[in-house]
Structure 1
Amino acid sequence: MDAPITIRLGARARQRIAREGLQAADVAIVPAAAGGPKGLILHGIDTWLFGEWLANAPRERRLIGASIGAWRMAASALADPVAAHRRLAHHYTHQTYPAKVDAAYVTRNVRGILDEALGGHGGEALSNPWYRLSVITARGIGPLAQTRGVRWREMAGFLLAAAGNAVARARLARAMERVVFHDARDDSAWLRERFDPFGTQFAALSEENLRVALLASGSIPLLLEAVTDIPGAPAGTYWDGGLIDYHLHLPYQRDAGLVLYPHFSDHIVPGWLDKSMPWRRARDAALDNVVLVAPSPSFLARLPNRKMPDRGDFKHYGQDHASRIRDWSFAIGESERLAEALAQWVEKPDLKQAGDF
């Protein structure tokens, strides 16, 4: 049977693993992509990583994510990460909507899912002795700074932003900037020197703004209401961090440690608007120390509809909520096979099985 996982290695990561194997103590950063329901397919890996493998080799680590990835990393930083991931998977899977909804309704629903996932323990993510959480958001500038919650202004602003991005990713930087909400104990020095066209601002996480920052990081334009004026952060309007950092193409090479990246894809797409542009996939030195693990095509072929859960399922299943929940729950159960395969690989890494970026 084909392997359930696909592995990609940066050049420095390959050399290090060839010499020393893959040790949990070497993992310095764990990124988590945006992608909505796609993140559910990583549930098994998340619970194994944070419940066992990394937990057995405590050291300071950066956990950084956008959108659902930020939620996953916040769950990982709680005192009982396995319980937190189970809550997140359950409540995310069981969300339902009537045939017609507005952004206010979706926002209330999503806020409820987030609250259930945190389970009243959000403050634990800010006091974890080993993990330093960072939440990525996108803040509107230029025309997108003037939307004031008016839907047509928002739509017009994003149409202009998308048109600019189609020409060059640098043009998207005229419409939005990255705001990183980070653990106050970590100055995020590795991100402060400019590494792409986007301006980046930083704000310390606190119990006052953690929940709001996580909500902002997952606020899909037009589908959810934008989040405004987050405590302790630059004034303005905030949206889903995946708009800029869909798969988190960040300067990982600046860290001496390894980056272990559980991902739902075997490649890295910089921004959400770049999904249909394969020429923009990341293949640079930023990935030198990255170990990326993703579901293999053969694994996905055995799931319902021969794919992982995604946002299109809400339309595909319509009001047949029970069937969607059944199929998503099956995929989550199957994700345990990904964790088992990864555990076997890290025990005895087969570099012939691993591809390059």
Structure 2
Amino acid sequence: MDSPITIRLGSRARRRIAADGLRAADIAIIPAAAGGPKGLILNGIDQWLFGDWLPSAPRERRLIGASIGAWRMAVSALADPVAGHKRLAHHYAHQTYPAKVDAAYVTRTVRGLLDEVLDGHAGEMLAHPHYRVTAITARGTGPLAAAGGVRWREMTGFLLAAAGNAVSRERLAGAMERVLFHDARDPSAWLRERFDAFPPRFATLTEANLRDALLASGSIPFVLQAVHDIAGAPPGAYWDGGLIDYHLHLPYQRDPDLVLYPHFTDHIVPGWLDKSLPWRRARESASDPALENVMLVSPSPSFIARLPNRKLPDRSDFKHYGQDHAARIRDWTYAIGESERMAEALARWVEQPDVKVAGEF
């Protein structure tokens, strides 16, 4: 029977696993992509990873994500991560909206969702003995900084940003900057030295700004409102971190240990605006070794083909199902349940890793 997962290995990860196998103690970084409902398909792996495998070898680990990825990493650092991931999947899948809705309504709903998911446990995340969480956001600069929440100005700013990005990622850096909300105990040294067109800025995660930072990290332009003037961070408007870091193409090679990346697809796209630009996909090379120590795990084509509509849950489902909320919730819940098969397959592979069946970047 076809495996429900696909595995890709960077060159250093392949050599190390071939020589020494794979132990939980080897894992230093867990990235988590933006992607909205697509992230639900990783629920089974998240529960196994943070509820079973990684706790078997406690050590300091960096959990970094954007949008739903930041939410997944936040609940991974709760005292009971399995319960946290179950709450996240349940409340995310059970979102419902009327036929006509504005960004203010969606923002209120999503803020309520985060309150339900964190459920009074936010302090646990910031005090976890081993996990250091970072949530990525995009702060508007240039025209977006001057938009002031006025929709037509925001739209103009994003159109200019998209046009610039089509030419180069460097031009997108003229419209927004990467702001990383990170654990105060983590110096984030591996991200401090500039590695792309977006000089990183840092803000410390606290109980006072955690919800705003997580909300901002998932605030899709025009779907949600920007989050303004987050406590402890540079003033301004903050949007979805996936605008800059959709699949988190970060300098992972700076860490001597391994990066385990559960992902909903088998490739890495730098920014959300790069989705339709296949030449922007990250590939390991002499000039870009970022993926050399990465193990990427994603659903296989045969697994996806067995899901409702033969695809992962995604935001288009809100339109596809319309007001038939029960049908969408049923199909998303089925996909979440199927994700347990991915976890089982990964657990088997980790027990006896076979690098010959793993692809390359």
Query: Shared fold by TM > 0.5?
Result: yes
- Alignment of 1:235 with 2:235, yes or no, is yes
Question: Residue deviations 1:203-227, cap 9 Å, x none?
Answer: 1111111111000000000110100
Q: In the alignment, which residue of structure 2 is the partner of 1:263?
A: 263
Deviation at 1:350, TM superposition (A): 1.1
The SS at the match of 2:30 is strand
Q: In the alignment, which residue of structure 2 is the partner of 1:348?
A: 352
d(CA) in 2 for partners of 1:299, 1:205: 37
Q: In the alignment, which residue of structure 1 is the partner of 2:317?
A: 313
d(CA) in 2 for partners of 1:20, 1:30: 20
Q: In the alignment, which residue of structure 1 is the partner of 2:273?
A: 273
Question: Residue deviations 1:6-45, cap 9 Å, x none?
Answer: 0000000000001110110000000000000000000000
Identity of matched residues, %: 79
d(CA) in 2 for partners of 1:148, 1:121: 33
d(CA) in 2 for partners of 1:98, 1:210: 28
d(CA) in 2 for partners of 1:254, 1:231: 30
Question: Which of the residues 307, 312, 328 maps onto 1:303?
Answer: 307
The SS at the match of 2:56 is coil
Question: Residue deviations 1:31-68, cap 9 Å, x none?
Answer: 00000000000000000000000011100000000000
What letter corresponds to residue 264 of structure 1 in structure 2?
A: F
Deviation at 1:264, TM superposition (A): 0.1
Q: In the alignment, which residue of structure 2 is the partner of 1:339?
A: 343
The SS at the match of 1:110 is helix
- Alignment of 1:9 with 2:9, yes or no, is yes
Q: In the alignment, which residue of structure 2 is the partner of 1:165?
A: 165
Matches within 5 A, 1:10-29: 10-29=10-29
d(CA) in 1 for partners of 2:128, 2:252: 22
Unaligned residue ranges in structure 2 (runs of 5+): none
The SS at the match of 1:12 is helix
d(CA) in 2 for partners of 1:325, 1:263: 22
Matches within 5 A, 1:218-233: 218-233=218-233
d(CA) in 2 for partners of 1:124, 1:13: 32
Unaligned residue ranges in structure 1 (runs of 5+): none
Q: Which TM-score applies when normalising by structure 1?
A: 0.99
d(CA) in 1 for partners of 2:212, 2:239: 11
Q: In the alignment, which residue of structure 1 is the partner of 2:294?
A: 290
d(CA) in 1 for partners of 2:140, 2:199: 11
Question: Residue deviations 1:64-119, cap 9 Å, x none?
Answer: 00000000000000000000000000000000000000110000000011111111
Matches within 5 A, 1:96-135: 96-135=96-135
d(CA) in 2 for partners of 1:202, 1:211: 17
Q: CA RMSD in A?
A: 0.5
d(CA) in 2 for partners of 1:315, 1:36: 14
d(CA) in 2 for partners of 1:27, 1:200: 24
Q: In the alignment, which residue of structure 2 is the partner of 1:175?
A: 175
- Alignment of 1:247 with 2:251, yes or no, is no
The SS at the match of 1:349 is coil
Q: Which TM-score applies when normalising by structure 2?
A: 0.98
d(CA) in 2 for partners of 1:123, 1:158: 35
d(CA) in 2 for partners of 1:328, 1:353: 29
d(CA) in 1 for partners of 2:200, 2:154: 22
Aligned residues: 357
Deviation at 1:352, TM superposition (A): 1.3
Deviation at 1:123, TM superposition (A): 1.0
d(CA) in 2 for partners of 1:286, 1:72: 23
Deviation at 1:281, TM superposition (A): 0.4
d(CA) in 1 for partners of 2:256, 2:163: 38
d(CA) in 1 for partners of 2:199, 2:107: 27
- Alignment of 1:329 with 2:333, yes or no, is yes
Deviation at 1:199, TM superposition (A): 2.1
What letter corresponds to residue 75 of structure 1 in structure 2?
A: V
Deviation at 1:260, TM superposition (A): 0.2
What letter corresponds to residue 259 of structure 1 in structure 2?
A: V
Superposed structure 1 runs of 4+ greater than 6 Å apart:
none
d(CA) in 2 for partners of 1:111, 1:231: 16
- Alignment of 1:206 with 2:210, yes or no, is no
